[in-house]
């Protein structure tokens, strides 16, 4: 995501107020409990090269490691970050792909391959197509180059901005949620994995409504739930089958962060990991309600019901919602400046 120009005096005051609100609420946030399972605890990304961590996914081959990437980088890079130290333990250079434009998401398929979504479009529809890259997760954690397959993606109803790419852990189908500022987004489904082509465009069809300004998403490890996050909140959906059959379950307990851009399930599905952009950015865990139930991990998705409970916006419903308009105004200014840049 692009950096913003200096704010006008009035806008600067609004931004300062928003930051103060975020700080105050963050200080009152309940701390996540410690956990001895690799990949279940929060961490800070120490690598100074990673300043725009926009996607996050737990490694399947290397316990405790998460893969991430920048929005825009000096090359087609992926970084393996050890959650126990916050240090980068491997840097992957993807070969066989063009120059990335706006890499916004990363996911893991049932075959153990990494799927990288070069799907961002800050100008809201400038690109007639976007790309998805697929590459095997390396067996050894070391700096190396890995050849990736590159898929051209077009949407059935025209170009759009998107930051959320999810691969279903059972079917292998790719899903993209677009980013609509009015909260009236859509979910798009890829052709079946066997029909994906590297030689012609792959048409993603609209299959469901998404009532969120989504910045990232993830499927639970058992494939029964889809979680989507935005800057100030999130939504969970019960996954009812192919074709984007979803049923809204509730709101996510999203921590207040500088610029919340990433979301991943922990390897065992007991936690959702929320990441943000920025230097030495933090990844914060939130317990998934019902993860220890006989029904299996992610049965409730760390979400509150859509009733009058306190689960929205990290559990501070009363105070946070009362001050939410300030934060919304701040992010509205960011969108305005981004449009002016275009």
Q: 223-259 pLDDT, tens per residue?
A: 999 999 999 899 999 999 878 899 999 999 899 898 9
Query: 152 forms bridges with which residues in the sheet?
Result: 131
Contact 253, 315 (CB under 8 A): yes
Q: Is 324 contained in some domain?
A: no
Task: Indicate the average pLDDT of the chain.
Answer: 82
Structure tokens at 234: 């999130």
Q: What is the pLDDT of residue 310?
A: 31
Is 320 a domain residue?
no
Cα–Cα distances (Å) from 264 to 102, 105, 269, in that order, read 19, 10, 9
317-329 pLDDT, tens digit per residue, is 333 433 344 344 4
Q: What pLDDT, on a 0 to 100 scale, did the predictor assign at position 282?
A: 96
Note whether residue 4 is domain-resident: no
DSSP-derived secondary structure for 51-76:
S-EEEEEE-SSSTTEEEEEESS-SSS
pLDDT band at 216 (very low <50, low <70, confident <90, very high): very high
- Asked whether the beta carbons of 272 and 266 are under 8 A apart, the reply is yes
Q: What pLDDT sits at residue 35?
A: 62
Query: Mind spelling out the 3-state secondary structure of 162-206?
Result: EEEEEECCCCCCEEEEEECCCCCEEEEECCCHHHCCCCCCEEEEE
Can you give the pLDDT at residue 29? Answer: 43
55 lies in some domain: yes
Residue 68 · residue 53 · CB < 8 Å: yes
At 63, is the pLDDT very low, low, confident or very high (cuts 50, 70, 90)? very high
Q: How far apart are CA 49 and CA 323, in angstroms?
A: 34
DSSP letters, 21-39, are: HHHHHHHTSPPPPP--STT
pTM of the model: 0.81
Mean pLDDT confidence for 179-208: 94
Query: For residue 252, what are the β-bridge partners?
Result: 303
CA distance to 117, 177, 272, per residue, from 255 (Å) = 24, 21, 11
Q: How confident is the model at residue 302 (pLDDT cuts 50, 70, 90)?
A: low
Summary count for the chain: helices (H), strands (E): 2, 22
Number of domains comprising the chain? 1
Assign residue 180 the CATH number of its domain. Answer: 2.120.10.30
* Mean pLDDT calculated for residue range 155-165: 96
Neighbour tally for 243: CB within 10 Å: 11
Q: Is residue 194 part of a domain?
A: yes
In a domain, 321, yes or no: no
Share of the chain above pLDDT 70, in %: 74
Q: For residue 25, report the phi and psi dihedrals to the nearest 5 degrees.
A: -70, -35
Indicate whether 254 belongs to any domain: yes
Helix-helix angle 317-341:9-27, to 10 degrees = 140
Residue range(s) defining the domain that contains residue 157? 29-315
Exposed/middle/buried for residue 109 (C-beta within 10 Å: 0-12, 13-18, 19+): buried
Please check the confidence at residue 197 and state whether its pLDDT lies above 50. Answer: yes
Structural domain includes residue 277: yes
Q: What is the pLDDT of residue 49?
A: 97
Whether 163 and 196 have beta carbons less than 8 Å apart is answered as no
Which pLDDT does position 317 carry in this prediction?
A: 37
- pLDDT bracket for residue 126 (50, 70, 90): confident
The pLDDT score that the predictor gives to residue 10 is 47
| CB-based contact 218:237 (threshold 8 Å) | no
- pLDDT tens for residues 17-36? 444 444 444 433 444 455 67
Place of tokens 């065992």: 268
- Least trusted range by pLDDT, from 29-38, 150-159, 263-272: 29-38
Contact 101, 113 (CB under 8 A): no
């Amino acid at each position: 995501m692009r950096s913003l120009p200096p704010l006008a005096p009035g806008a600067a005051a609004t931004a300062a107020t928003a930051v103060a609100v975020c700080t105050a609420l963050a200080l009152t946030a309940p701390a996540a409990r410690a956990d001895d399972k690799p990949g279940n605890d929060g961490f800070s990304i120490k690598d100074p090269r990673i300043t725009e961590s926009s996607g996050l996914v737990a490694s399947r081959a290397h316990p405790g490691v998460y893969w991430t990437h920048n929005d825009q980088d000096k090359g087609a890079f992926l970084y393996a970050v050890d959650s126990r130290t916050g240090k980068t333990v491997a840097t992957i250079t993807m070969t066989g792909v063009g120059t990335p434009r706006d890499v916004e998401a990363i996911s893991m398929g049932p075959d153990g391959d990494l799927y990288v979504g070069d799907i961002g479009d800050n100008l809201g529809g400038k690109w007639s197509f976007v790309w998805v890259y697929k590459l095997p997760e390396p067996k050894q954690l070391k700096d190396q180059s890995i050849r990736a397959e590159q898929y051209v993606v077009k949407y059935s109803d025209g170009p759009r901005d998107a930051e959320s790419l999810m691969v279903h852990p059972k079917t292998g189908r790719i899903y993209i949620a677009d980013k609509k500022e009015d909260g009236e987004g859509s979910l798009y489904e890829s052709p079946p994995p066997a029909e994906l082509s590297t030689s012609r465009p792959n048409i993603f069809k609209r299959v469901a409504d998404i009532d969120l300004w989504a910045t990232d998403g993830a499927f639970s490890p058992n494939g029964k739930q889809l979680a989507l996050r935005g800057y100030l909140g999130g939504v969970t959906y019960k996954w009812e089958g192919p074709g984007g059959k979803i049923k809204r379950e509730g709101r996510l307990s999203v921590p207040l962060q500088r610029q919340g851009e990433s979301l991943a399930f922990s390897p065992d599905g007991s936690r959702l990991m929320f990441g943000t952009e920025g230097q030495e950015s933090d990844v914060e865990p939130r317990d998934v309600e019902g993860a220890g139930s006989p029904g299996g991990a992610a049965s409730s998705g760390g979400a509150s019901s859509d009733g009058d409970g306190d689960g929205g916006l990290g559990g501070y419903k009363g105070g946070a919602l009362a001050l939410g308009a300030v934060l919304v105004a701040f992010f509205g200014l960011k969108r305005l400046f981004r449009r002016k840049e275009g």
